[in-house]
Structure 1
Amino acid sequence: MNFVQPIRDQEKVDAIKAYFRKDSQRNYLLFLMGINTGLRVSDILKLKVGDVKEKHITIREQKTGKQKWIMITPALRRELKACIGDRQDDEFLFKSRQGGNKPIGRSMAYKILRNAATAFKLKDIGTHTMRKTFGYHFYQQTKDVAMLQEIFNHSSPDITLKYIGVNQDGMDKAMSKFRI
């Protein structure tokens, strides 16, 4: 498995949002959900319209089996309302175009993100990039590694910082100043 990176540059995040908005409402919402909740793609794809109509999303994480309660940010809430309109509560939020009420699969979510990565010449991008992008920007805005550790269910702050690429940023900065 390849190691994926967060999208660190806010301008790139905004450009990718615009790219998805123009391309597909479903794909735009998928990207927004990933970068605004920090959920794993496996949990995002299971969401139904009714799951996102309240102030919080309540799920049982597929990977850990733990119950999770995530607040929907005001900006995400506005986008959700605009996108879901009068869709039925039992409809999958990220419905496959192959008919029926089935969600897209992980491989389709990966393909969607890879297309954006190609369009923006980004490397080391995968479905986990959305979760890491959320973590990276959450940390940059709050500097609260303990809170992020809890959101991600990590066992230590060091794991969280490594996971979101902050340690790598520090190493890169130190190496750029290093002379011998």
Structure 2
Amino acid sequence: MAEVQAVKDLDTVKLISYLLKRTYGQQIADVWDVGLNLALRISDLLSIKFENIHDERLTLVEGKTSKQATIKLNDKARSIIGRIKEEHPEHIYLFQSYRNQWSKGLDEAPISRRYVSRAFAAIGEEVGIKLGTHSMRKTRGYHLYKNTNDIARVMKMLRHSSEAVTLRYIGITQEDVDRDFAELEL
């Protein structure tokens, strides 16, 4: 699998959402916007069922680690989730595939990881970034680190156990760390 990047410019984050909506529709743009706000792996993001959302929290067991994740939903995530629920009250999954409208007898399922991946990659080419499904998670981690300079906090949010892995994951290079030391004089 090709290495994907965090989106480091906030205007580009918004542009990607706009381009996804324009090219692929609201649902894929919602995957991007909710994914940015929840920092989940794509398999976990797509597996979210409305029954996993209680009050202002999302609770699920992560597929990769089997760890329980309890995430407080911010205003943007709650707003998008509320709109989706209102528009599709019969849906089981937050990002449910519409294929069932045409294929009777199939069980409900979320949209495919492959479809999301292809959409993101195509928009990434358009904006000149190696964009993939992990870009949402990496982007959130990157911006949390830039806002707080607290790698432990980023590690906790991403549920990582190694600083080095987290720094590499969010795209913080030794050059970035050196620049932070040089620029911050106390």
Q: TM-score, normalised by structure 1?
A: 0.85
Q: Could you tell me which residue of structure 2 aligns to residue 97 of structure 1?
A: 98
Alignment check: 8 A CA contact 1:4 1:128 kept? yes
Q: Could you tell me which residue of structure 1 aligns to residue 137 of structure 2?
A: 131
RMSD over equivalenced CA pairs, Å: 2.2
Residue 129 to residue 169, structure 1, CA distance change in 2 (3 Å): farther
Residue 15 to residue 51, structure 1, CA distance change in 2 (3 Å): same
Task: Give how far 1:119 is off.
Answer: 2.6
Q: Is 1:20 the equivalent of 2:20?
A: yes
Q: Is 1:107 the equivalent of 2:108?
A: no
In the TM superposition, 1:141-156 aligns within 5 A as: 141-156=147-162
The one of 163, 167, 172 equivalent to 2:169 is 163
Question: Aligned with 2:173: secondary structure?
Answer: helix
Q: Percent identity, please.
A: 31
Alignment check: 8 A CA contact 2:81 2:94 kept? no
Deviations, residues 80-120 of structure 1 (Å, cap 9, x unaligned): 22232153376111122321521112111101211221232
Deviations, residues 49-89 of structure 1 (Å, cap 9, x unaligned): 33345311101000000101011111221222223215337
2:140 and 2:153 map into 1 onto residues whose CA distance is 13
Alignment check: 8 A CA contact 1:42 1:62 kept? yes
Task: Give how far 1:127 is off.
Answer: 0.8
Q: Could you tell me which residue of structure 1 aligns to residue 35 of structure 2?
A: 34
2:70 and 2:77 map into 1 onto residues whose CA distance is 16
Residue 27 to residue 74, structure 1, CA distance change in 2 (3 Å): same
Deviations, residues 21-42 of structure 1 (Å, cap 9, x unaligned): 4441211110012111110000
Task: Give how far 1:169 is off.
Answer: 5.5
Residue 39 to residue 114, structure 1, CA distance change in 2 (3 Å): same
Q: Identify which range, 39-48 or 164-173, moves more after superposition.
A: 164-173
Question: Aligned with 1:166: secondary structure?
Answer: coil
1:125 and 1:168 map into 2 onto residues whose CA distance is 22
1:97 and 1:86 map into 2 onto residues whose CA distance is 13
Counterpart AA for 2:97: S
Q: Is 1:4 the equivalent of 2:4?
A: yes
Alignment check: 8 A CA contact 1:25 1:83 kept? no
Q: TM-score, normalised by structure 2?
A: 0.83
1:9 and 1:49 map into 2 onto residues whose CA distance is 31
Task: Give how far 1:172 is off.
Answer: 9.4
Q: Could you tell me which residue of structure 2 aligns to residue 55 of structure 1?
A: 56
Alignment check: 8 A CA contact 1:49 1:87 kept? no
